[in-house]
Amino acid sequence: MSPTVTTVELELAPADGARLASLCGPLDDNIKQLERRLGIEINYHNQYFTLTGRTAQVNIGAHLLKHLYVETQALRGQAVPDITPELVHLAIKESQVLDQDDTPDIEHLYGKTVNIKTKRGLIKPRTASQAHYMAHISSHDITFGIGPAGTGKTYLAVAAAVDALERQEVRRILLTRPAVEAGEKLGFLPGDLSKKVDPYLRPLYDALFEMLGFEQVEKLIERNVIEIAPLAYMRGRTLNDAFIILDESQNTTLEQMKMFLTRIGFNSRAVVTGDITQVDLPRHTKSGLRHAMDVLDGVEGLSFNFFHAEDVVRHPVVARIVRAYEAFDHQQAKLNDQAPPDNKVTS
């Protein structure tokens, strides 16, 4: 039985040529992306749009066009914002969450909003896993975000830290990660200590610059309100009134993870992010993140949040790559389980 095909006509008002041009994108790239991702056909003339395809997908497309058109509304005295392919992609991801009947109402569930306002604008979850993660950050002393690259673990943690600082819930932000080379031997790095560790901490800087602006971040670093340091610098410290983020925690040893988690002081929150499929530690060295998942499961005040391929908010091909690796690893695990003892080949 073939799926029902529906045609929906839509008018975007008030009509504005500049806003419509921003919505459609150069050479209608945004419209083509919606057509390709949703499997529908979109035709338009001026502010009048016609969408044809399966009923559910057409309804999502109409919702997205209305939502994105609202995004084109310029503030007083400012130019019409550009609707970029990235914004279209994120809007599609968000619509997929809203379309899931089993997705809980996060605000009702936790009694609070999970949206975060920064100088960059409103930062909000794009998937159900991101929404749970953000809600748990605000309600737990230590929150773990575990999953593949591109799921927003670090970005949302930094956003929550900036929000807590601006609300004066904490007095400072501390960002750290283990300085482990990702499978490469970089050798001697020139410069002072800051220059040596900056490459490892660049993702954290990038998120801060985007949310607060370069000059503001530099001022806060000078005043020691924001501190960015390698994990080794945490030993012996007690961190009070702070929002602490440990990034790339899959590259911590067992001792480093225990050391970090026991640094947490009064009125402090910590977020630990990592991807257990991308461990860069020496062979036969167990990841501190993997160990913590086993040891700390069920401990009060801690929350473990797991992300999957469907939570990837980067280019759609990243989600497909993650799924391919997951499928390969699953197949390899099955083969290993079926192998003879001691890996001996029987004749």
- Domain boundaries defined on the chain: 5-98, 106-307
How high is the pLDDT of residue 15? 86
> What one-letter code names the amino acid at 195?
K
> What is the C-alpha to C-alpha distance for residues 34 and 36, in angstroms, rounded to an integer?
6
Residues 6+ apart with CB under 8 A from 343: none
Please state, in angstroms and as integers, the Cα–Cα distance from residue 340 to each residue in 57, 210, 331, following that order: 49, 53, 16
Helix axis angle for 288-295 and 254-261, nearest 10°, is 60
DSSP 8-state secondary structure symbol assigned to residue 234: G
CATH number for the domain running over 106-307: 3.40.50.300
Residue 19 token pair: 């806003």
User: At 175, which helix (H) or strand (E)?
Assistant: strand 172-177
How high is the pLDDT of residue 72? 86
Q: What is the dihedral of CA 191, 157, 171, 252, to 10 degrees?
A: -50
User: At 123, which helix (H) or strand (E)?
Assistant: strand 121-123
Residues 6+ apart with CB under 8 A from 154: 145, 203, 204, 207, 245, 247, 273
Q: Which CATH fold topology does 5-98 show?
A: Ribosomal Protein S8; Chain: A, domain 1 (3.30.1370)
The series of mean pLDDT values per 10 residues for the chain, 347 residues long, is: 76 89 90 87 91 89 89 74 81 65 44 57 78 87 91 90 88 86 49 61 83 89 88 81 92 91 89 90 88 90 88 71 77 71 47
Contact between residue 163 and residue 325 where contact means Cβ atoms under 8 Å apart:
no
Same fold, 5-98 and 106-307: no
Phi-psi sector, 111: left (phi>0), alpha (psi -120 to 50), beta: left
How high is the pLDDT of residue 121? 65
